[in-house]
Amino acid sequence: MMSKPFGYEPIIQKEDLSKSNRKKVQKASNWKSVLFRTWRLIDHQRALLVVVLVLVLVSSALALVGPLMIGNIIDHYVIPKKVEGLGMQIGWLLVVYAGFSIATYLQNYWMVGIAQQTVYRLRTQLFGHLQKLPIRFFDKRQHGELMSRVTNDIENVSQTLNSSFIQVFSSVLTLVGTLSIMLYLSPLLTLLTMMIVPLMFLAMRWITRRTGILFKEQQRAIGELNGMIEETISGQRVVKAFSQEQNVVKEFAEKSERLRTAGFWAQTYSGFIPKVMNTLNNMSFAIVAGVGGLLAVKGYGGVTVGTIVIFSEYARQFTRPLNDLANQFNTVLSAIAGAERVFTIMDEPAEKDEGLKQAKTQTLKGDVEFCNVTFGYEKEETVRGISFHVKPGETAAFVGATGAGKTTIMQLLSRFYEVDSGQILLDGIPIDQLPRQTVRSQMAFVLQDPFLFEATVRENIRYGKLDATDEEVEAAAKKANADTFIRKLSDGYDTVLTAGGEEISQGQKQLLSIARALVADPTLLLLDEATSSIDTVTELAIQEALERLMEGRTSFVIAHRLNTIRKANKIYVLADGEIVEAGSHADLLERRGLFYDMLKNIE
């Protein structure tokens, strides 16, 4: 059973990495698949990679030739005190080491380019795949943790490809070449040198059994910490409003301590590797020097002083690649853990979009019908048996208590989620037969909390239609009653807003959101609590802008302020995921049902 380091017990308990469970963790990590998929990314630069591998082969060969030449110079020129030809031998020795240096420089230079192109391709594919994933995927994950996979995990892969790839290949070649020449020169000294290999194997096995789990735990801890940081910074107003600074700092300290402990033991165990390898390397050198010297003195086995010099160098060259392989093993472990987390995201199924081919360019009229639709985010049904019909140009309003299913209907209409049963028809066509691009390109959203990008006011409005001209942007802003306040900003339409638009009011953000929807010129309009949390004066400006926006468009409105939906063609009252009342404003008041009671309670 693997012994647990002092201070690491809490992490093992939290993750339940007992002996039996640890085996499950290792089995779940498909290293072969990860390495194969990474290789496929590298393979895009096959020609340059072949050149690099050839240079690695050349540099490894030259590194083996150098000690042979030194031994030959000692035996045939230094000891016999022969001067003739010595200069030429030294010249060739310089050529060999110069060639080694040039080959090493070029292989490292080109490998950096290969590594960066590979990581660029991986990062681009990951980010592209994130854009194809359904909203459901993001609902279940911390954004900071996802950011960690795009940054930290891919950076681990980058560092490994930059340095470890060549080093591992070079070490294997050096190991094989060194062993072959050593056996040719003296099988006996080779056998003595190889005595340290079993010790190396046992030491590495003891270390890597621990570092594999610890590096994986370290990557997980980094992801959780990043997620918590991103979440806290995004919600800083809420943290301060509820005086939760101390609790947040405490939670951060706990997660940071978890990372510190995992990182400490991962680095501690991996730090044993060079120390163990240096100790064994010195043992090997002592064996070669001592036993080799004795054999040379007695003239046994054809061992000469030059042979001892060669073996001393080769003994170092033999243990050095083992040392490099051992050191790189931990780096590769960390990179594999990072790549595995990246590929886990890339293996998530993308949104299916198997629509009718002829519907890709179809212009929607705005006829919407829900036919007995049932849906639940998890096991429980959020809405059930929902049926209604909205004709082109009409406005449908949805009211009800929080959790009644109003927003869910919007989510289903925009195809952020797929219905569990029933059907949604757009212009008589089942919505799942229309490509998402067709549906969403003809929709516009005005949400309760509008999101603004770190860009100019003009660019934020133009986000609704990227090819809109400056004139179209400004015309949309005027219709949205936003032009007046925009021109009062420091740089007018060219004022750069921070992410979230913290420098303008909530109402002004909402007006920019309406302008964005206007410039998009949608067929379908979805308004989700667009006038909530707004002062009365601003609400009037927003309401006027919304009326212009809704004119001639099929509109779906969610509103808590019931007086804002008086003009809706039909109002649907929801309770517990079902439509319990439907009719115009006057009809519902005349019925004196749930809607009437809601309105009376407000008054």
Q: CA dist 12 to 3, 9, 227, 285, 487, Å?
A: 12, 5, 21, 40, 59
Provide the domain count of the chain: 2
Whether the model pTM is above 0.85: no
8 Å CB contact between 353 and 346: no
8 Å CB contact between 520 and 444: yes
Pair (418, 556) in one structural domain: yes
8 Å CB contact between 125 and 38: no
Residue 4 lies in a domain: no
Relative to beta strand 524-528, strand 578-583 is unpaired
User: pLDDT tens across 310-335, in order?
Assistant: 777 777 666 667 667 766 776 777 78
C-alpha 188/C-alpha 190 separation (Å) is: 5
Pair (454, 551) in one structural domain: yes
Pair (341, 458) in one structural domain: no
Only one residue has tokens 């757009």, namely 426
pLDDT top residue among 534 and 204? 204
The domain that holds 68 is classified in CATH as 1.20.1560.10
Last residue of one domain, picked from the residues 304, 327, 346: 346
How large is the angle between the packed helices 165-185 and 86-132, nearest 10 degrees?
Answer: 150
Pair (65, 184) in one structural domain: yes
Residues 6+ apart with CB under 8 A from 387: 370, 371, 372, 373, 422, 579
Residue 7: band (very low, low, confident or very high) from pLDDT cuts 50, 70, 90: very low
Pair (372, 290) in one structural domain: no
C-alpha 24/C-alpha 403 separation (Å) is: 39
Only one residue has tokens 């909203």, namely 135
Pair (214, 275) in one structural domain: yes
Residues in the chain: 603
Residue 10 lies in a domain: no
Can you give the pLDDT at residue 16? Answer: 37
Q: Which residues is 371 bridged to in the sheet?
A: 423
Pair (335, 367) in one structural domain: no
Q: Quote the distance between the C-alpha of residue 59 and its chain's center.
A: 36
Pair (382, 333) in one structural domain: no
Secondary element (H or E) of residue 371: strand 368-375
User: pLDDT tens across 78-105, in order?
Assistant: 777 777 878 888 888 899 889 989 988 8
Residue 372 lies in a domain: yes
Only one residue has tokens 């940071």, namely 256
Pair (277, 424) in one structural domain: no
Residue 36 lies in a domain: yes
C-alpha 565/C-alpha 571 separation (Å) is: 8
User: pLDDT tens across 569-590, in order?
Assistant: 999 999 988 999 999 888 888 8
In this structure, the dihedral spanned by the alpha carbons of residues 216, 222, 227 and 232, taken in order and rounded to 10 degrees, is 150
C-alpha 405/C-alpha 575 separation (Å) is: 8
Pair (436, 577) in one structural domain: yes
HSE-CB at 499 with a 13 A cutoff on CA atoms is 2
C-alpha 300/C-alpha 298 separation (Å) is: 5
Residue 3 lies in a domain: no
Q: What is the tally of helices (H) and strands (E) in the chain?
A: 23, 10
The residue segments making up the domain with residue 125 are 32-346
User: pLDDT tens across 214-245, in order?
Assistant: 877 887 888 788 778 877 877 776 777 667 78
Last residue of one domain, picked from the residues 346, 369, 387: 346
The chain-wide mean pLDDT, for the chain, equals 79
Pair (362, 323) in one structural domain: no
Residue 446 has which token pair?
């005005």
